[in-house]
Structure 1
Amino acid sequence: MANKYTNLCIAVTGLNANDNPGPGMAVIRSLKECFGDDLRIIGLSYESLEPGIYLKELVNKTYQIPYPTEGTAALIERLTYINQQENLDLVIPNFDSELFNFIKIAPQLKQMGIASYLPTQQQLALRDKVHLKDFGTRHSFYVPADHKLYTADDLQKAAAEFSFPMVIKGKFYEAYIVYTMDQALKAFHQLNATWGTPVIAQQHIRGNEINIAALGDGQGNNVSIVAMRKLYITDKGKAWAGVTIKDDNLTQLANSFALATNWKGGYEMEIMSTAEGHLYILEINPRFPAWVYLTAAAGQNQPAALAKMALGEAIEPYTDYQAGKLFVRYSWDHIADIADFQQISAFGEL
């Protein structure tokens, strides 16, 4: 371990670990694996029941932060206070919905001595679900056709074009494969209530689901690319088990994306590989996936590489990883004290 990384303090969001887990705990495990027990992890939470708050062997202290809808002023004020207590070296946000604010305040954080490693607002917008089809057309990527849904009536046009089944997606999260208009309407109203409009209707592509976790250097290159095939998928479409695979076409696709966008930071490509051999990009998530610990297990620790790059170290791109590494997600009951819940709820710190 290089001495320059002693007493490192890193703040991480995304501490939820339910059936639709955030990436935070996987990012923390990866960081701990690289930097050891000397690393101090500060959890940044939105809710009082995010499991990471209570996993004290992984998270040293947690602070609640304001919801993204409260804007940048509230966030910078809270982070200023947290930094006074903790002297943060780096912050790694892990939710799509909070990235806009974190990118906006990155220069202020830098002045406070807090590093980050994030895409630009332009890069963030390019791969937005609303713009993905246009982006794909411009750069000759396969992307399913889509319709932006602002009202329930818009579903009729989408159904006429795509027929069933089709996929109904929230602006930030969640996706449902629907087979009838009733199911489509239910999904639309549910996603609209949770994430607002537009809700996206997307053409349903049949094939094998593959995800790619990657880390872009902001100069058009990837430092790391690890591909995983989903083996077990929840009703929310989340991978509950998966195995690392190697395929030059997947590597080439991720490299083409990095080149087209100059992406900086972690990202995930959700791919459908069809019988005809086409790789359709279903989504590009602008942060590490919840399964990112698999990258560390396979030999390319992406969160650790991001941390080192954010702190100014030049990282040589990884060239290989282990295929056949399997992850299986599991649920278990972590026991905490109600006093801890009351503490974080009342004072926003634990």
Structure 2
Amino acid sequence: MSQATDYRMPAEWEPHLATWIAWPHRQSDWPGKFRPIPWVYCEIVRQLTQCERVRIEVVDATQEADARKKLQRAGVDLTRVDFYTIPTNRCWTRDHGPIFVTNSAGQKAITDWHFNAWAKYPDWQLDDAVPATIAAHHQLPAWQPTFQGRRVVLEGGSIEVNGAGVLMTTEECLLSEVQQRNPGMTREDLEATFATYLGIRQVIWLDRGVVGDDTHGHIDDLARFVNPTTIVTVLEDSISDENFEPLHENLERLKAARRIDGGRYEIITLPMPDPVVFDGQRLPASYANFYIANDRVIVPTFNDRKDRLALGQLAELFPDRDVVGIHCGDLVWGLGTLHCMTQQEPLGAGESLGFAAG
């Protein structure tokens, strides 16, 4: 693949054919709290199937049967759900799943980045094979980005795009020597790779992610595009909170950023929930980890006094979509919430949902 191609990564709010998720199976990801997790997934699938297909990765037929039973009990229309036997190490589809790109003719392809479990855990081999498996099943072109002869490591949660050539990420995630994804790759090398494979013309580099983030700085807990020129970012008001300084630093960077045409971005701040702590560990609870589906936005909530404020702010930013809160007090114990577990597949030329949304 060369820069001459016109493939780009669409924005999340552009039309989807489906959302991909991996059904939860690794109990050690939610130690002592696994039992409610599949039911949280059921509610997420119930919401998403109102407006698009949901494609679920399961490890085997036994897990598929269990998922079907639970989804049916939760009132999910199973005719809008597709199951794929694709074994995984973990269920964080945002990071191990395919990153889809499209061209001006509406043709789809998959960028198959290397996944190495956030440069932290030894078991990633099953997850790393997921994009190639999906590409082969759907007979889609797939490209593995490389740099100096080795595959480039990238997780979907580490990048955020506006669909018009701009990408946001953090220095903590992609440039730090801690959990170092791509030793030897410079800022300029990464920007060139994003240009080649994702159609990116500008990269906005923020500083650090939120406290408690196991990924070491993913952008999707921090700052998100809600349209091509508007960014929402989380902000901590308590000066005594560990998040206060880094989140204010990121806000200043966003205020200083310029669009490709030279104008400024509109910056909207979202509150942070009060610290969510379980078993002595602070968890990465953030309202920025929302997911934009075809006719709705699902937003993590935490039984917090600021839930309603965050939902109201996002409702104003998405006037043509329903904004739906989903309680993630248990889900976040796995160190991720709604955006982390989903990956959108754009609607390609000649494709349709196959049902009336809503």
Report the TM-score, using the length of structure 2 for normalisation: 0.28
Greater relative contact order (Cα < 8 A, sep 6+): 2
Relative to total residues, which structure has the larger helix share, 1 or 2?
1
- Higher gyration radius (CA): 1
